[in-house]
Amino acid sequence: MPYSSSFDLEGKIIAVVGAASGIGAAVAEGCGRHRARVICFDLDLKAAEDAALRITQAGGIAEASAFDICDGAAVDAAFEGVRARHGRLDVAIATPGVNVRKPLLNYTDEDFDRVIGVNLKGSLHVLQSAGKIMAAQGSGSIILFSSIRSLVVEPGQGVYAATKAGINQMVRTLAAELGPRGVRVNAIAPGVVATPLTAPIRNHPEWRQAYANKSALGRWAEPEEMVGPAIFLASDAASYVTGSVLFVDGGWTAIDGRFQPPGM
């Protein structure tokens, strides 16, 4: 295949879970602009329909459907519906995540169940449902969104971090299990991104700046900066990439402090 076309998504059937806002919305629009047929899944159907409309207004092809990542049977039905309508499922991308920021000693069972239910069990539902379809057809790419918190933590992030580390390990496991069936499974691990999830941090000037200073680039990422990595992993350019966690963190996990020693 010519290098110039290896990133082409034309004609691919791509389901984006969490397409209504933040990273999911940006990724869905990016796939549409790369000529894929995009299915915008989200718990908020109206917002998913708005996302699909933006894609079609930009010249792409998109549709929308309600999607509850916590309901395994509903996830199965949603992905099976894509296969029934379009004959296949080429790419599944899942972006949803929630966090309850509080010290571990203060965590309640309800807090734990909420974070685990969306981030870990929900991700498992996507892996299972999309994975079964792709294994049967002998091809496909699944992309989950992890986080820098799968490696580094701070107070109040313990359970969230545990779920992101768990996503990494489930991705690696399914990549090993489905590799012989032609299915690739990878994760993208962003740093700090300006999304609705991080709005409370960005509304706190000192906290916002501290996070910006922690990256090598000295700033936050915009949701659109996650599109390129997602397009890469969805495309034939990543045909030999599976079981990987791609850190898109502005160098956050590469540096340890910012002190410049004299003479350096």
Catalytic residue numbers? 160
Those residues with Cβ within 8 angstroms of residue 101's Cβ, 6 or more apart along the chain or in another chain: 156, 157, 160
Please answer whether residues 142 and 184 qualify as being in contact, where contact means their C-beta atoms are separated by less than 8 angstroms: yes
User: 149-153: which pairs have CB atoms within 8 A and are 24 or more residues apart?
Assistant: 150/189, 150/245, 151/189, 151/253, 152/252, 152/253
191: left (phi over 0), alpha (psi -120 to 50) or beta: beta
Closest CA to 89 of 155, 37, 165: 37
Q: What is the DSSP letter of 193?
A: B
Cα–Cα separations (whole angstroms), residue 171 to 3, 71, 106, 195: 27, 20, 30, 24
Question: What is d(CA 131, CA 48) in angstroms, rounded to the nearest whole number?
Answer: 23
Helical segments of 19-141, H only: 22-33, 45-57, 72-86, 109-115, 122-137
**Best CA proximity match to 21, nearest among 186, 197, 167, 142:** 197
